[in-house]
Amino acid sequence: MRGGGMTPATQERLVAIASPLAALLAWQALADGGVLDTRYLPSPWRILLAGEQLARSGDLWAHTRASLYRLAVGFALGAVPGILIGMMMGLNRFLRAALDPLIAATYPIPKIAVLPLLMLVFGIGDGSKIAVVAVSVLLLSAINTMTGVLGIDRVYFDVAKNFRSPPWKLFTRVILPAALPTVFAGLRISLGVALVVLVGAEFVASRAGIGYLIWSSWETLAVEDMFVGIIVITMLGVVTTQVLKECERFFLPWRH
């Protein structure tokens, strides 16, 4: 098939845009035609209207802000100590031997399972949600950072030694940049897990947040609002992942 002077890349891009649009149109048509039960699957247009109403009332922003705040603070409180602990574990075999069993024992715990415990400690407010996100992120970033440090090619240490790097410069100029790609890989995984844990926590124990919006819409059978919540939390995931990618581009210019 000739594409009327379009490059193959342009053709593919057009198809990639057209196919989800076609799916949306088909969904709308099936909902309007009565084929779909709109009590469970409302039409895209009705979801859009519901979203507009939620946005106008200010509820949507309030929920988004609550989730974003918990995600950001929990992520930072988990990632920073997680990376530090992982670095130290990677660099010091005694610390590694001491902490490895602790991490091995706590890592398999589904973090949402300790939410009630965290609520006892941090209360039913933001604190417990932030804590459950932080714990999930901390373990994942510690493990990935340690893996990154342990995986550094020996030749870089040889070069540093032959050129007599002082310990601090060995860390900032060799160990840190060499481990950073794996650290970022860990952060990307952590972000995905953090979103899952956050929504779960907001389902059961919250008065605000996108998870709460989805759950309370279910309880009141406001199916359109539920879809709005799902879309917003997805967008939150996409945007935060993109922010992380930009950070990576900034800190790892040599990878691009």
Partner 1 sequence: MTAKIRIDALTKRFGEGDRGHLALQEFSLDVAEGEFVCLLGPSGCGKTTVLRIMAGLEQASSGAVVTSPPPPGRPANSMVFQEHGLFPWMTALENAAYGLEMRGVPRREREARALEFLARIGLVKFRSHYPHQLSGGMRQRVSLARAFVNDPDILLMDEPFAALDAQTKLVLQQELLALWEAERKTVVFVTHGIDEALSLGDRIVVMTGAPGRIKQVVPVPFERPRDPASLRADAEFGRLSLEIWHLIEREVQAA
Nearer to partner 1, 20 or 167 (CB): 167
176-204 helix and 126-150 helix, angle to the nearest 10 degrees: 150
- Shortest Å, Cβ 28 to partner 1: 48
CA 7 vs. chain centroid, Å, equals 35
Whole-number Å distance between alpha carbons of 234 and 67: 12
Among 72, 80, 103, 178, binds partner 1 (CB under 8 A): 178
Among 164, 219, 220, 250, binds partner 1 (CB under 8 A): 164
Nearer to partner 1, 16 or 155 (CB): 155
Farthest CA pair distance, the chain: 76
Q: How many CA atoms lie within 13 A of 181 on its CB side?
A: 9
Q: Which of residues 215-254 bind partner 1 (CB under 8 A)?
A: 252-254
Nearer to partner 1, 44 or 177 (CB): 177
Is residue 169 a contact residue for partner 1 (CB under 8 A)?
A: yes
Residue 78: both structure tokens together: 């988990």
**Number of shown-chain residues binding partner 1 (CB under 8 A):** 21
Nearer to partner 1, 94 or 254 (CB): 254
Among 22, 159, 221, 243, binds partner 1 (CB under 8 A): 159
- Shortest Å, Cβ 253 to partner 1: 8
Whole-number Å distance between alpha carbons of 234 and 253: 28
Is residue 163 a contact residue for partner 1 (CB under 8 A)?
A: yes
Yes or no: say if 101 and 159 are a contact pair by the CB < 8 Å rule. Answer: no
Residue 222: both structure tokens together: 């406001």
Nearer to partner 1, 180 or 236 (CB): 180
Q: Tokens 């999930």 sit at which residue?
A: 136
Which one of 127-135, 151-159, 191-199, 228-236 is the stretch in contact with partner 1 (CB under 8 A)?
151-159
Torsion angle in degrees (nearest 10) through CA of 249, 239, 123, 85: -20
Yes or no: say if 244 and 189 are a contact pair by the CB < 8 Å rule. Answer: no
Among 12, 32, 52, 158, binds partner 1 (CB under 8 A): 158
Residue 77: both structure tokens together: 């409180």
Nearer to partner 1, 40 or 254 (CB): 254
- Site of interaction with partner 1 (CB under 8 A): 153, 155-156, 158-166, 169, 173-174, 177-178, 180, 252-254
